Amino acid sequence: MTNTIQPEALTFECETGNYHTFCPISCVAWLYQKIEDSFFLVIGTKTCGYFLQNAMGVMIFAEPRYAMAELEEGDISAKLNDYDELKRLCLQIKRDRNPSVIVWIGTCTTEIIKMDLEGFAPKLESEIGIPIVVARANGLDYAFTQGEDTVLAAMAARCPKQAPEVEKEERNGIQKLLSFGRKKEELDTEASEYIEHPPLVLFGSLPDPVVTQLTLELKKQGIKVSGWLPAKHYTELPVIEEGYYVAGVNPFLSRTATTLMRRRKCKLIGAPFPIGPDGTRAWIEKICSVFSIESQGLAAREKQIWENLADYIQLIRGKSVFFMGDNLLEISLARFLIRCGMTCPEIGIPYMDKRYQKAELEMLEKTCQEMGVTLPKIIEKPDNYNQVQRIYELQPDLVITGMAHANPLEARGINTKWSVEFTFAQIHGFTNARDLLELVTRPLRRNHALKDLGWDKLVKEEAQV
């Protein structure tokens, strides 16, 4: 007689614990690299400056395009003119860097002292002749990744409703140059690669190689991507008109999705996120189904990727993973790792938008049922003290956690992985699944090697001392 797991529903709890995550102003770290003609001005106190200096100090040799506008006592006590000070700084930025856009990142302090950034920006923009986008990516948000969500939501409002005539002429001219010397048959074949469908815009900041990969995966299905938000250059923001379809690539972009639907009247494609071969296939299939396109070759493509991951999967099959909650990627990562053969007793997450992650949650349930494992308990705003007690009780093989808790747990013999690494690594699409598992298995392989050398006993003895 065999035991079968009966279908059950996901359970959600809320512990209203503190958020042990980075501040959302850290989104500057990857956005300034993505939007190459931008400049980010963070308006906050010295504490904000220290955080950015420490969090992004490793990038100092890259001459980053961001700066701090430090609020002094005179600013906070309203003895200085905020507008004049910001104008002076922006003129200096224009003189030194001449960016296509300046993004003001508001912090907690600008919220508390009621700094009218949205009021200043249009007037100053007209004076200095550079677009100014205001994004309040402050520590009042739930997770540090939501800083990007705030910036993209602000940029969505700046997307043109139709391409300017000059830009259309330039594109036509460039297209003629690119087509020069090519046969008409070749051009017709290239145009026929796409199936006629409504315009599609994808949103989420990803490295350029990943953008290319996902765009090509959709092209194989005959789907043309009309644009990405954000684009590589601010001047190349995608045209977004009423009725356009949009799809997200990250689970922490619910505010951007809401803005695109409510303000720009777009249609959101609710799909699982393209993380892992299973998620990537589901993401592409959902987009195809919305456009009434029958997907081709995805099953074979996914099977091939799983075969390439066999050596990594062998290391984690049957092991358990526990998410403490940090970057809002937890549901997608848990779903992928359960498909790899792991079990997951608990998923901690700072904030849960059940509408935006609906398809991902449904896929998590389906994956657990297909793999024959118990559904994880989802804890929103987890209390870390209670979580640590549950970790002691459950003794998971791996805990994915924020940097604050990693070393204390390691000292007690528990394998950990920094969740922030998944934020900065290339984990989207079919081809990056191996890099994703490389991150997950690294602590297990490292500690296994230490045991072989007998160093684990030495570490425990030092911890006891």
Query: 191-295 and 300-464: same fold?
Result: yes
The model's confidence at residue 347, banded by pLDDT at 50, 70 and 90, is very high
Residue 176 scores a pLDDT above 60: no
Cβ neighbours, 10 Å, residue 459: 14
Range in 12-16, 126-130, 271-275, 358-362 with the lowest mean pLDDT: 12-16
* Helix, coil or strand: residue 356: coil
Side chain identity, residue 223: I
Name every residue whose Cβ is closer than 8 Å to that of residue 261 and which is 6 or more positions away in sequence: 246, 267, 268
Cβ neighbours, 10 Å, residue 117: 19
Q: Where are the domains of the chain?
A: 24-138, 191-295, 300-464
pLDDT at 167: 52
The model's confidence at residue 464, banded by pLDDT at 50, 70 and 90, is low
- The C-alpha atoms of residue 197 and residue 449 are separated, in whole angstroms, by 53
- The C-alpha atoms of residue 283 and residue 248 are separated, in whole angstroms, by 10
Mean pLDDT of 125-137: 95
Mean pLDDT of 219-228: 96
- For 222: left if phi > 0, alpha if psi spans -120 to 50, otherwise beta; the answer is left
* Helix, coil or strand: residue 186: helix
- The C-alpha atoms of residue 426 and residue 208 are separated, in whole angstroms, by 10
Residues 321-337: tens digit of each pLDDT: 999 999 999 999 999 99
pLDDT at 62: 52
Residues 266-295: tens digit of each pLDDT: 999 999 999 999 999 999 999 999 999 999
- Structural contact between residues 312 and 434, judged by C-beta atoms closer than 8 angstroms: yes
Q: How many CA atoms lie within 13 A of 402 on its CB side?
A: 22
Query: What share of the chain has pLDDT > 70, as a percent?
Result: 85
Domain 300-464 has CATH 3.20.20.140: no
The structure tokens listed for 208 are 């350029």
The model's confidence at residue 451, banded by pLDDT at 50, 70 and 90, is low
Q: Of 147, 144, 152, 139, which is closest to residue 327 (Cα–Cα)?
A: 144
- The C-alpha atoms of residue 127 and residue 142 are separated, in whole angstroms, by 35
Mean pLDDT of 14-29: 84
- What's the predicted TM-score (pTM) here? 0.88
Domain 24-138 has CATH 3.40.50.1980: yes
- The C-alpha atoms of residue 422 and residue 202 are separated, in whole angstroms, by 20
Residues 55-114: tens digit of each pLDDT: 766 554 456 788 888 887 766 656 568 889 899 999 999 999 999 999 999 998 888 888
- Structural contact between residues 103 and 135, judged by C-beta atoms closer than 8 angstroms: yes
The structure tokens listed for 463 are 């911890």
Residue 16 scores a pLDDT above 90: no
- Structural contact between residues 324 and 420, judged by C-beta atoms closer than 8 angstroms: no
Architecture of the structural domain at 191-295: 3-Layer(aba) Sandwich (3.40)
The structure tokens listed for 150 are 């705030």
